[in-house]
Chain A
Amino acid sequence: MNPLSSQAPTAADDQLGALLGAAADAVVIIDERGIVTRFNAAAERTFGYQAAEVIGHNVSLLMPQPFRREHDGYLERYHRTGEPRIIGIGREVVAQRKDGSTFPIDLSVGEFRTGQGHGFVGILRDISERKRQEEMLRQSTEELRLIFEYSPMAILITDLHGGIFSANRACCELFGRSQQELCALRHSDLMASEDRKVPLEAFERLRRDGGSCECEVRYLRADGSVIHALHYSALATDEDGEPVMFIGEIIDRSELFAAIHEAEQLRARLAHVARIGTLGEMVSGIAHEVNQPLTAIANYASACRRLMLGGQGQPGELLGVLDKIAAQAERAGQVIRGLRALAKRGESQRQLLDCNQLVADVVRLVEFELRGTDTQLYVELDSGLPPVFVDGVQVQQVVLNLIRNAVEAMTDGPGPRLVSIRTSVLRPQWVAIRVDDRGPGLSAEQQQRLFEPFFTTKKQGMGLGLSICQSIASDHGGELRYCTNEWGGASFTLALPAYTDEEGI
């Protein structure tokens, strides 16, 4: 039996031939000198040679340089030293097709010995496809890495206990820390200590239930400055669904936050300006009101002096006049106090107040202003009002604005010029202050744009009054609504939530 013989096939040869023919892998058999003795069908497909073109030739034909040149040397060394380099080990080598193109193969080699000598069986598999897939995988991994690394979004990957695995460039920049520094920390170490509770609870839930979470957190940079951020985290799991890590995204919203803050400040300043503006318009009314007691005081005092100098004044009479002076001074003081409260700027100061008292104070101010006009105020206060927890000055500003608008709405009309101001309990737990006029009311378009800033129907006026009123109402958890009343005039209702003991619990 000579398996190396290419002629005179035997039964064993036939069996081998069938085996080789059926093998999916290319099989090449060579003799001890490297001459090809068998070349199966799979090998023909792989290399593009017919078996006849290869059998009898040196197997180096199937290799590119420099292996082609070296192959005889490899065999010779093996024969000399008996030290296998590839036999029984298998390795990845490069092969060459008939058309000269090369391709990677997995090669395993076995040695056989027969009576006539020995040879080698090479089983080889074209691994171009696997190589290509590996390359693609490597590439897409690299792409992912690049995306992660260069994403403008700060991304933080942590283990299930919050220890940081990895942080991308944007994240390092955001925190002003290097990757190494970050990897020595836990996620929560980056958060402002008073803000940790909510996200840590969210992570705990996430680990238990999976999915993703979102929370607003203040982070601290290495230099201690604050980042107002929105944080998204998602739980990554392995194939078995076991939690592996958290992938977190940190969106720096400091600028947005600053803008909101600025807008808020602006609104407060605007409200203040509007209040001062309102004051300016009221100056003549208020000055009149301060002037009255001052005038009386000056008169009384001068009269006393003259009476005493003339020896006319009886002590009893003079005392009576002095009491009148004191009463007038007190009256002037009240006006000034009211004015101060109205002009006071600063943080909104909320306290438990009675809407009736607030309304009555405003009505008193407006009455000065309406003195000498034919506009009348009708006031109806519900004695059963629950208290409200409000900034009194702001609520008074709203009421004042509504009354002034009501008065102005009737200046050109035929009359009667009557403004009604009512307080009432509106549904349980709400207090309403309603101001009605007998003016022409508002058109549909005006109603729609009513609360828009800078929308005005007045010749003079910035159009801020009602928009500020509305924002004050909503700041207090209340609302300001318009409707047309039964006289066709405008009706505004400021509704405020009544204070209840459970509040804040």
Chain B
Amino acid sequence: MRTGCTVFVVDDEEPICDSIALLLRSVGLSSRTFTDPRRFLEALGPGQAGCVVLDVRMPGMNGLDVQRALNERRCSMPLIFITGHGDVPMAVEAMRNGAFDFLQKPFNDDDLIRRVQKALEQDARDRTRLAQIDETRRRWEALTAREREIAERLVDGAANKVIALDLDISERTVELHRARVMQKMEARSFAQLVQMVLSLRQGPAAP
């Protein structure tokens, strides 16, 4: 099983936390349980891998408040809400705010496990993608200013000749910069370079 990945179970009712933890353990998933959402937020380290199973209705701080706090912290872990009867409007709002899924109590064990597993996979994918973007950004930041400028223009579809004219350099110089960009970015094709630059633009902290 993936290491360092934890299912955080947050529900004000101890039996619910305890039973979910046992259920997850039965399929080899490790979890941490919190009956107080504030404790959970305090305990949560940055870049934590895993997912969160969160009760919508809790005294003091409800599930939506917790979701808001996590979003503010840019925590990317998928959230699975558990809702009681009559909490559908809250569940809808949670989904609108980017929740991964929701489950209505009482739920089927398979449903919970499947969703938790999907959420963990999603988290892993997100994490891989984020790691890739970080790597791409690292490479991008290693380019010189002129190389970045030329790379941007190329990705936007400008021909070598046009770039040479605009920057008042020779077409040959443009070709040399382009080859160095491809090499530094470790792009095997021009298409891959385009993808990399676009992912930086879309991802967090776009260039």
| B194 at the binding interface (Cβ < 8 Å) | no
| B45 at the binding interface (Cβ < 8 Å) | no
When the two chains form their complex, are residues A292 and B59 in contact, meaning their CB atoms are under 8 A apart?
Answer: no
CA of A303 to CA of B17, assembled, Å: 13
| B134 at the binding interface (Cβ < 8 Å) | no
Contacts of B57 in A (CB 8 A): 288, 371-372
When the two chains form their complex, are residues A283 and B109 in contact, meaning their CB atoms are under 8 A apart?
Answer: no
When the two chains form their complex, are residues A302 and B26 in contact, meaning their CB atoms are under 8 A apart?
Answer: yes
Smallest CB separation, B81 vs chain A (Å): 14
When the two chains form their complex, are residues B22 and A321 in contact, meaning their CB atoms are under 8 A apart?
Answer: yes
**A-B Cβ contacts below 8 A, count:** 87
When the two chains form their complex, are residues A324 and B18 in contact, meaning their CB atoms are under 8 A apart?
Answer: yes
When the two chains form their complex, are residues B26 and A372 in contact, meaning their CB atoms are under 8 A apart?
Answer: no
Contacts of B176 in A (CB 8 A): none
When the two chains form their complex, are residues A299 and B23 in contact, meaning their CB atoms are under 8 A apart?
Answer: yes
Q: Name the residue of chain A whose CB is nearest to the CB of B15.
A: A296
| A284 at the binding interface (Cβ < 8 Å) | yes
Q: How many residues of B contact A (CB 8 A)?
A: 27
| B20 at the binding interface (Cβ < 8 Å) | yes
Smallest CB separation, B153 vs chain A (Å): 55
| B129 at the binding interface (Cβ < 8 Å) | no
| B182 at the binding interface (Cβ < 8 Å) | no
When the two chains form their complex, are residues B85 and A298 in contact, meaning their CB atoms are under 8 A apart?
Answer: no
| A334 at the binding interface (Cβ < 8 Å) | no
Interface residues of A in 315-364 (CB under 8 A from B): 321, 324, 327-328
When the two chains form their complex, are residues B106 and A287 in contact, meaning their CB atoms are under 8 A apart?
Answer: no
| A2 at the binding interface (Cβ < 8 Å) | no
Contacts of A296 in B (CB 8 A): 13, 15-16, 18-19
Contacts of B22 in A (CB 8 A): 299-300, 303, 307, 321
* Shortest beta-carbon contacts, A-B, top 8: A302-B109, A299-B19, A284-B86, A306-B26, A287-B85, A296-B15, A288-B84, A303-B22
Q: Which residues of B contact A (CB under 8 A)?
A: 12-13, 15-16, 18-20, 22-23, 25-27, 57-59, 62, 82, 84-87, 105-109, 112
Interchain residue pairs with CB less than 8 A apart (29): A284-B84, A287-B85, A291-B105, A292-B16, A293-B15, A294-B105, A294-B106, A295-B16, A295-B107, A296-B15, A296-B16, A298-B108, A298-B109, A299-B16, A299-B22, A299-B23, A299-B109, A300-B22, A303-B22, A303-B26, A306-B26, A306-B27, A310-B26, A324-B15, A324-B18, A328-B15, A371-B58, A371-B59, A372-B59
Q: Which residues of A contact B (CB under 8 A)?
A: 283-284, 287-288, 291-300, 302-304, 306-307, 310, 312, 321, 324, 327-328, 371-372
